[in-house]
Amino acid sequence: MGTYIIRKLLYSMVVLIGVITVTFCLMYVIPGDPARLMLGQRADIASIDAVRKQLGLDDPLYVQYGRFIYKAVQGDLGRSYSSNRDVLKTIIETFPATAILAISSLILSSLIGIIIGLISAVRSYSWADNLSMLFALFGISFPPFAFGLIMALVFGAWLKWFPISGYINNGLIYLVLPMLTLSLRPLSIIARLTRSSMLDVLGQDYVRTARAKGVSEWKVIIKHALRNALNPVITTISAWLAALLGGAFFIEYIFNWPGIGLLAINSILSLDFPMIQGTVLFTAVIFIIINVIVDIIYAFLDPKVKLS
């Protein structure tokens, strides 16, 4: 197990370095000049050059890259170009908003998705199954940002049932629209995966044996089938947790939710290089940590997983 964990961590470090390198290179192919954005379009060349020198943007790329890596290892992600605030501190301050949105969306999508998948498997090929899988196909295929715009337009602007933007400091009602929007795709995937996994388990010998012994149908479904069908579902849920905690970028932007996603998009629009790199790095670290933890737990729970 120790070797398995070490290999996972080393692989994760390689992935992290790759993410940092690609993000750093992309920053310098984006059109625009951060110094000019900071000073305005009417700024003179001398002032722009002075700011570029102050920010270290006139150094060779390998020097800037090495400086960024050296500081990042020490926990220093630099200061924002637009607000002059510490990048890591700003990200940590916005993370609770993203965590609230992500966890609430994942709980909702997990509960409803498992229930829909369970009903679809038990009543396979019925009208309920066909309707459920049609909904799941819609949820997987429909772009989340487009669904968010429709939700904001219909339930926020037209019907005025829910506020379009805001934070839960003013009430949980502000969480409803972004939570429902963010839940659509994971809910659909979890429903389809639960259905396929349940259909596979329901055909196993031990399920037929339980039925032959006279065990009630719902006890067979819940105790014998569902418990064994949830392994791949739990793995999928954990992967979605990492994705959602990384920041639901467009959803947060649409509903003006003050999380990492909104912070990242605003940073891109203002060419705030340190903040962009910081949010991407923070997101990558979350992905890696959660995936490593899930892999280790899964290796403990499932003896079929080879630790080598």
Mean pLDDT by 10 residues, the chain (308 residues): 74 85 79 72 78 80 85 84 88 91 92 90 85 89 89 90 85 90 92 88 75 72 75 81 78 90 88 87 85 73 54
What confidence score (pLDDT) does residue 93 get? 92
pLDDT score for 162 = 92
Identify the pLDDT of residue 103.
92
Assigned token pair, 77: 């992600």
pLDDT at 17: 86
Q: Which residues pair with 121 in a beta bridge?
A: none
Tokens standing for residue 41? 């379009």
Domains identified in the chain and CATH numbers:
2-73 (no CATH), 93-301 (1.10.3720.10)
Instruction: List the beta bridge partners of residue 79.
Output: 86
Positive or negative torsion for Cα 113, 118, 120, 121: positive
- The predicted pLDDT at position 308 comes to 47
3-class DSSP string for the chain = CHHHHHHHHHHHHHHHHHHHHHHHHHHCCCCCCHHHHHHCCCCCHHHHHHHHHHHCCCCCHHHHHHHHHHHHHCCCCCECCCCCCEHHHHHHHHHHHHHHHHHHHHHHHHHHHHHHHHHHHHCCCCHHHHHHHHHHHHHHHCCHHHHHHHHHHHHHHHCCCCCCCCCHHHCHHHHHHHHHHHHHHHHHHHHHHHHHHHHHHHCCHHHHHHHHCCCCHHHHHHHHHHHHHHHHHHHHHHHHHHHHHCCCHHHHHHCCCCCHHHHHHHHHHCCCHHHHHHHHHHHHHHHHHHHHHHHHHHHHHCCCCCCC
pLDDT of residue 304: 57
pLDDT at 247: 64
The pLDDT value given to residue 188:
92
Is residue 161 within 8 A of residue 180, CB to CB? The reply is no
